[in-house]
Amino acid sequence: MVSVLWGSILSDKMIVALLNYSLILFVIAILAGLILREGKKASYLGSILTCTASILLLTIVFIETISLLTKGMIITVSTAVPLINMPIRIDGLSLVLITVIALLGLASSLYTPRYMEYYEKLAREGYFIALFSTFIASMLLIVLTSDIIWFIFMWEVMTFSSYLLIIWEYVEEYVMKAGWKYFVTMHFLSTLPLMIGIIALWETTGSTSMDVISARISRLPTELLAILYTLFIIGFCSKAGVVPIHFWLPDAHPAAPSNVSALLSGAMVKVAVYGLLRYCCYILPVNMIVGYVVASLGTLSLTIGILYALKETDTKRLLAYSTISHMGYIWLGLAQELFCLARVIS
């Protein structure tokens, strides 16, 4: 018994240490990019740092997988980010997203130095690495934080850094148009609804902790819950590129550098799925009607996405519509989970 407990403590400390080291490496990569500014040295150094940070995150996933296979459960870790005191928690849901972000972060970071030689005429490689590392780190902190204010803050960091990466080739008119469409759509149809919903949760429950809000959510009237569900569905639907708020994605994909496009489709839209699950299943009570709405949006998205993909000749736009279609399948899966949970609870 003592040895099992001691092993658990060591695993907890190891996971916290690995997480802290990975965040420190992201910060160093950002600072290195800002200091070096230009040249291949900035690109290669930043990529090495982000690759190493991603490997540390995958080590956490490995430790958690071993725990799941040997003990039948993952190690739930609650701690805080040093200096800024951001409360974070690793649980089963966040672990899935950590895996996705770490794998794509590693792959895209390995690809970045050689690929960015294509943009050599624009220089500013250091600034790109700083934004690239900020983008990955912000997605990571979104799925880790257990505080709703930190959640919306990192959501905006993710949105703004991804916007600057999308318009990297700013000399092209179509790039600036795509970036502007993304910027306006994300702020009015994603950040704004989420911010209103989060502020409403804070004001009505008197807490910013997700656990405390979940415990006090039963006090809220049905009408307010309906408004919150609507706000969160709109906010996360926009970021996920789900129909009908998908129109930014086919333009953002061709405009962004390919390593950024990989993160947009592979990671960022999945972070929106995480948000929907976290807020509509873990914080707010599970609702059958929400399941029907999510299923309808998923069906619409997978159908329209695949029909538009079939007629596309541009590779990046085809991949964008493929992403929209695949998000439809994911939202159908989420709807199935909502149905099952609602029946179990009722």
Angle of helix 173-186 relative to helix 148-166, nearest 10 degrees? 170
Quick one: which of 93, 89, 139 has its CA closest to 277? 93
Report pLDDT for 346.
64
Distance of CA 280 to the CA centre of its chain: 16
Report pLDDT for 270.
95
Distance of CA 339 to the CA centre of its chain: 24
84 by DSSP, 3-state: which? Answer: coil
For the residues 141-165, what does the mean pLDDT come to?
95
Residues 134, 82, 158: CA angle, nearest 5 degrees = 20
What does the alpha-carbon distance between residue 174 and residue 16 come to, in Å, rounded to a whole number?
44
Report pLDDT for 48.
92
Residue pair 138/89 in contact (Cβ under 8 Å)? The answer is no
| pLDDT tens string 59-106 | 999 988 888 888 777 777 888 787 778 999 988 889 999 999 999 999
What does the alpha-carbon distance between residue 191 and residue 57 come to, in Å, rounded to a whole number?
27
pLDDT for residue 166 is more than 70: yes
Quick one: which of 141, 24, 11, 136 has its CA closest to 71? 11
pTM for the full predicted model: 0.93
| pLDDT tens string 98-121 | 999 999 999 999 988 887 777 667
Report pLDDT for 4.
44
pLDDT for residue 123 is more than 80: no
pLDDT for residue 1 is more than 90: no
Report pLDDT for 38.
75
Report pLDDT for 283.
92
Report pLDDT for 84.
79
What does the alpha-carbon distance between residue 168 and residue 185 come to, in Å, rounded to a whole number?
18
For the residues 220-230, what does the mean pLDDT come to?
93
> Residue 344: CB partners within 8 Å, gap ≥ 6?
none
| pLDDT tens string 5-52 | 434 545 778 888 899 999 999 999 999 988 887 777 878 888 999 999
